[in-house]
């Protein structure tokens, strides 16, 4: 009988790319995998056993459902539990007391992320950040392994727990046709929020004959009203949330992809993060990337000659980069080819799948043998 392992999320959608399509589907090749996720029917998909939970929306309301999450987790009776949300730390501690193996997957640098939450006044945010950091350290010391996506977070968490590993959000490489259309458009796919500098991008469209195509969930919804009030909104096409399977063809309809993330605390300010999937999705689709000049992104994008890295606050630099690719389609095509080759050679999920297998072999299998 294969070893039974369980992943839990109370925040992410059930078919989240990192949690389901990468980690769970990979582990299902070797283990009996369960995924507890909010508002999904009990079913089996891609070899993963889906176990649904009715979780209300809202941060405070979710905190009162930890007993139900723990009850569901224990009913599955897995050997190990892999947690994906900060609010699940108390569940992890209870599972440890039940003798279970617990792995925590830190998708973000939460203490730093709290400092930028718009719903928290700055003085209160600092207090919450410190309190969370203390509780995080208390919990993670007791867990069997920690996983994160990028060196900045891994280095911090390794000081808390030496069994901290990096499993990066590189894309799953699939055989796709070259359907690049090279239209006079640029695109963005992902969460539509102020941190991706959409206002600066739209302002940079002045005088350019280009369409800005945007797909993804807008959070908060009121942010869309801010964007619609901008003078260049008529050059924007907001296409809502797309199924993951349609993202590649959506990206390939444009000449360049935008990933202008702000210099935020949770990505190490100017250091940047490998946890942002979109730069790799653009590269895999074969279009050049216009991205923030983070140290780690410059190494990837400029090092593989697959795009340009700029200051996301510099509207003139954004306009110049967009216009360059609009006027130089052959250069755009070559940089897109470079990006695709780099992803296939260096930045594919298969490299991270091996790391994930090694973690489970050393942490889960070793513990029960």
DSSP string spanning 318-331? Answer: HHHHHHHHHH-HHH
Residue 71 sits in the same domain as residue 193: no
Residue 179, in any domain of the structure: no
Average pLDDT over residues 150-173: 93
Residue 369, in any domain of the structure: no
Residue 357 sits in the same domain as residue 313: no
Distances (CA, A) of 169 to 92, 150, 281: 23, 9, 10
Domains in the chain: how many in total? 2
Average pLDDT over residues 54-58: 69
Does this model's pTM top 0.85? My answer is no
Residue 259, in any domain of the structure: yes
Residue 341 sits in the same domain as residue 360: no
SS3 content of the chain, % helix, strand, coil (to 5): 45, 20, 35
Residue 205 sits in the same domain as residue 149: no
Four-point Cα dihedral 231, 232, 233, 234, nearest 10: 110
Residue 158 sits in the same domain as residue 307: no
Instruction: Kindly report the CATH number assigned to the domain that includes residue 139.
Output: 3.40.50.2000
Distance between CA atoms of 202 and 310, rounded to whole angstroms?
Answer: 16
**What are the pLDDT digits (tens) for 228-242?**
999 999 999 999 988
Residue 77 sits in the same domain as residue 211: no
Residue 11, in any domain of the structure: yes
63 versus 255: the higher-pLDDT residue is 255
Tokens 């807008």, residue? 218
Positive/negative CA dihedral, 24, 25, 31, 37: positive
Residue 27 sits in the same domain as residue 163: yes
67 versus 141: the higher-pLDDT residue is 141
Task: Give percent of the chain above pLDDT 70.
Answer: 96
Residue 342, in any domain of the structure: yes
Average pLDDT over residues 280-298: 95
Tokens describing residue 352:
């991270």
Is it the case that residue 299 has pLDDT exceeding 70? yes
pLDDT at residue 259 in the model: 97
Range of the domain at 12: 4-170+349-364
Residue 95 sits in the same domain as residue 229: no
Residue 177, in any domain of the structure: no
Distance between CA atoms of 42 and 36, rounded to whole angstroms?
Answer: 9
Tokens describing residue 217:
């969930």
Q: Residue 52: which H helix or E strand, with range?
A: strand 48-53
Residue 282, in any domain of the structure: yes
Residue 29 sits in the same domain as residue 163: yes
**What are the pLDDT digits (tens) for 61-110?**
666 678 889 999 999 999 999 999 999 999 999 999 999 999 999 998 77
Tell me the average pLDDT of the chain.
91
Q: Residue 72: which H helix or E strand, with range?
A: helix 66-76
Residue 137 sits in the same domain as residue 189: no
Residue 135 sits in the same domain as residue 191: no
Q: Residue 67: which H helix or E strand, with range?
A: helix 66-76
Residue 96 sits in the same domain as residue 14: yes
Residue 175, in any domain of the structure: no
Backbone angles phi, psi at 328, to 5 degrees: -135, 70
Distance between CA atoms of 236 and 200, rounded to whole angstroms?
Answer: 13
């Amino acid at each position: 009988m294969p070893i039974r392992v369980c992943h839990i999320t109370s925040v992410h959608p059930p078919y989240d790319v990192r949690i389901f399509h990468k980690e769970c589907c990979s582990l299902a090749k070797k283990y009996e995998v369960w995924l507890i996720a909010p508002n999904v029917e009990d079913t089996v998909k891609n070899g993963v056993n889906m176990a649904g939970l009715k979780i209300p929306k809202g941060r405070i309301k979710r905190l009162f459902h930890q007993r139900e999450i723990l009850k569901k987790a224990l009913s599955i009776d897995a050997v190990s539990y892999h947690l994906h949300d900060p609010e699940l730390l108390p569940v992890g501690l209870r599972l440890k007391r039940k003798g279970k193996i617990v792995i925590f997957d830190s998708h973000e640098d939460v203490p730093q992320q709290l400092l930028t939450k718009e719903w928290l006044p700055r003085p209160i945010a600092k207090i919450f950040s410190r309190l969370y950091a203390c509780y995080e350290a208390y919990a993670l010391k007791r867990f069997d392994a920690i996983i994160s996506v990028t060196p900045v977070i891994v280095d911090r968490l390794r000081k808390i727990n030496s069994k901290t590993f990096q499993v990066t959000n590189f894309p799953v490489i699939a055989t796709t046709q070259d359907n690049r259309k090279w239209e006079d458009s640029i695109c963005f796919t992902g969460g539509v929020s102020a941190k991706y500098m959409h206002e600066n991008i739209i302002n940079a469209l002045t005088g350019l004959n280009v369409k800005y195509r945007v797909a993804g969930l807008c959070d908060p919804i009121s942010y869309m009203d801010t964007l619609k009030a901008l003078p260049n909104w008529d050059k924007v096409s907001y296409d809502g949330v797309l199924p993951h399977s349609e993202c590649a063809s959506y990206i390939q309809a444009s000449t360049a992809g935008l990933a202008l993330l702000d210099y935020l605390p949770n990505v190490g300010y100017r250091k940047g993060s490998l946890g942002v999937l979109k730069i790799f999705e653009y590269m895999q689709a074969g279009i050049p990337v216009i991205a923030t000049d983070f140290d780690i992104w410059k190494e990837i994008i400029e090092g593989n000659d697959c795009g340009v890295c700029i200051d996301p606050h510099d509207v003139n630099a954004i306009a110049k980069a967009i216009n360059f690719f609009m006027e130089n389609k052959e250069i755009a095509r070559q940089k897109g080819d470079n990006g695709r080759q780099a992803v296939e050679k260096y930045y594919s999920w298969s490299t991270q799948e091996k790391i994930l297998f090694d973690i489970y072999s050393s942490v889960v299998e070793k513990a029960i043998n």
